[in-house]
Amino acid sequence: MILDDAANVQVEFGSGSQTLLILINEWCARVVKIYRDLDSSIEDHLVWGMDDLIGAFVLRDAVESGLQTLRATSPAGNVAALDVADELFKVFTREDSEGAVRRFDRAVIVGAGWWWSRIPKKGPIAMEISGSS
């Protein structure tokens, strides 16, 4: 079973490691948090900003690294929850044609995962981006 396999794949993240399953759950939670913030005011101190988006992208990089390991042992290594979170993220984001992510984090590598080229269409993060243009 793919979830069992994901629970057994260790991925380096931060100063330690986590299972791929935990990292996928964390990515899903971050996508939902950003989605829930879309109709919030930028003045709300509980909403996430661009730094949080960048942190979510770093987490998604770790998920991708773990997926590569998983797929090496399980060719059908897709996790439905990840697919759903990725699709939701694509629905409420748009292409970062202005290079806003790169302005906030100059370490972004050209050709990085697709998520690095997406920004929310609206909400506090979008307002933060438009205020920094």
What's the pLDDT score for residue 133? Answer: 44
CA distance 39 to 67: 32
Measured over the CA atoms of residue 99, residue 101, residue 102 and residue 104, the dihedral's sign is positive
What's the pLDDT score for residue 76? Answer: 63
Average confidence (pLDDT) per 10 residues, the chain, 133 residues: 75 92 96 97 93 96 92 72 95 95 80 92 95 60
DSSP annotation string for 9-66: -EEEETTEEEEHHHHHHHHHHHHHHHHHHTTS-TT-TTS--HHHHHHHHHHHHHHHHH
What's the pLDDT score for residue 3? Answer: 62
At a CB cut-off of 8 Å and minimum separation 6, what does 72 contact?
A: none
What's the pLDDT score for residue 7? Answer: 84
pTM over 0.75: yes
CA distance 92 to 108: 21
Burial 72-96 (b: 16+ CB within 10 A, else e): eeeeebebeebeebbeebeebbeeb
Hey, how many other C-beta atoms are within 10 angstroms of the C-beta on 66?
26
